[in-house]
Every structure is written in structure tokens, then in C-alpha cells.
Amino acid sequence: MNDSYKPKILAFLCNWCSYAGADLAGVSRIQYPPFIRVVRVMCSGRVDPLFIVNALKEGFDGVLVSGCHIGDCHYLEGNKYTVKRMEILAQLLDLSGIGRKRVHLRWASAAEAKPFADNVIEVSNIIKEAGPFNAKDHEMALNALTRALSTTRLRWLVGIDRHLTENENVYHEKTDPILFEKVKNDAITAEYQKALIQEALSKGPVTVREMADQTGIAIYTVSKRLNELELGGMADLKSCEGNTPRFASPV
């Protein structure tokens, strides 16, 4: 990568810790790459993954989310939910082909000016190494990410994760974290695949084979996900050419 390349990085900083750490770094004249554009939020838990996808759509090369250390959140557990959201987003970014290297989560307290600067340097170098991000080249994937992250299923899984795996139910039982992780991973894959198919349907009418070609999903899996979308009222049979059906999004 050309040394003159300067990545555009959007940074969501927690008001109480990371933003204060950034301010202290400035007052202390600690040097770090001037590539970040800062959005101050009250808590890292306020950062919806959709904000991050929108940042990539708007031309940023990467995103940094930074908040209080685990155990020090001013809202008790906001950053713990941030970890869960970022884990799901990282998996989706890998599925999309964009890759998790575009998005990073780091911690820094209000007194940690040098660690904050070090985080910015580290993240800037990783994103710089990844190179410029062209949103147009990933338009279908970005739109599918928006769809998937907006589904009730994935948003519910983020909220219920810690409740099920860390707390007991009325029968004094906890959900097996390994089992829950498998359920969650299966859901992430399924929702992203359905979102990709919905993107293909929005340009329809299209055949199952055409959807497979556009999305890179195996034909059998396209058929399975298409059936789920039809049952949910999110896909319709539009026409048949001989024995070949064509589908599209509902009007």
C-alpha cells in the first residue's frame, strides 16, 4: 500500500472514558494518526451495528468503537452488550467478504491517554494495510448486512444471549453456552443468506439458479431459504417459463 494513503476511519467514542482519554491525549500532546473522525456517544452500548454498516456505505475505510473497560461501564453493563453486538457483526462481515478487519473494538479509560493513542495507531495500521474500501464493489453485501442486522431474530439473540447463558431460569438451569453459540451462528448465517436472496429478489423476477449465481449461495440452500422467505411473506412466485419458476419481492 502506498505510504501516502490516508484511511478514513470513523470512531465512536464513549463519553465517559474513551472520549475523555482522547481529550487527555490531545492536552498531553500525544501523537497519533489524524485519520479518525469522532462521534461521541454516551455509551459504547449505544452503537448499533447498523451505524457501522452505514459508515462503510458512506465511504469510510473502517470503524473504531471504543469505550470503558469491562467492569467500569458507567451504565453498568452497556459495554458487555457491545461485545455481543460486535461479535455478531464480525461474523457477518466475514460472511459478506468484507472482513472483520474493517471494524475494531478497543477499551480505554479517561486516564489512559497513551493507551488510547496506541489503539488508534494499531487500528489505523490494520485498516491502512487493508486498503481503501469501495462501497460500490460491496453494494449487495452492504445492503444484505443492513437487512440481516435489522431482523428481529438477530436483534433478539443479542439481547437474550447473556440472560440465557449467565442466569438461571425458573428451574435453576442455565443454557449451555456452546449450544447457544451454535444456535446463534446458525441464525447469523441463515439471516445473512436470506438477506442476500432478498437483494436478488428486489431486482427480480429471478430464478433459483440466477439467485445462486448472484449471491454465491448453493442452489439447494437458496431453495431452502427461499421457502422460508415465502412462508414469511417476503417472497412471491411471479411467473413460470416452462418448468422454471421466477420469484420476486412482494409488491
3-state secondary structure at position 247: strand
Q: Cell digits for 224?
A: 431452502
Domains and CATH numbers, the chain: 9-133 (3.40.50), 151-248 (1.10.10.10)
Contact between 144 and 229 under an 8 Å Cβ cutoff? The reply is no
Q: How high is the pLDDT of residue 175?
A: 87
Residues above pLDDT 90, as percent of the chain: 87
The model's pLDDT over 97-131, given as tens digits with 9 standing for 90+, comes to 999 999 999 999 999 999 999 999 999 999 999 99
Residue 159 has pLDDT above 90, yes or no: no
Half-sphere exposure of 57 toward its Cβ, with a 13 Å CA cutoff? Answer: 14
Residues above pLDDT 70, as percent of the chain: 99
Q: How high is the pLDDT of residue 158?
A: 84
Q: Cell digits for 132?
A: 481503501
What is the rounded distance in angstroms from the CA atom of residue 81 to the CA atom of residue 87? Answer: 10
Mean pLDDT computed over 166-193: 90
Q: CA-CA distances (angstroms) from residue 194 to 66, 73, 139, 155, 199?
A: 31, 35, 16, 16, 9
Mean pLDDT computed over 186-205: 96
Q: How high is the pLDDT of residue 162?
A: 80
Q: How high is the pLDDT of residue 2?
A: 61
- Count CB-CB contacts under 10 A for residue 148: 28
3-state secondary structure at position 72: coil
Residue 206 has pLDDT above 90, yes or no: yes
pTM: 0.93
Spatial strand order of the sheet with 103-107 comes to 36-41, 9-14, 62-67, 103-107
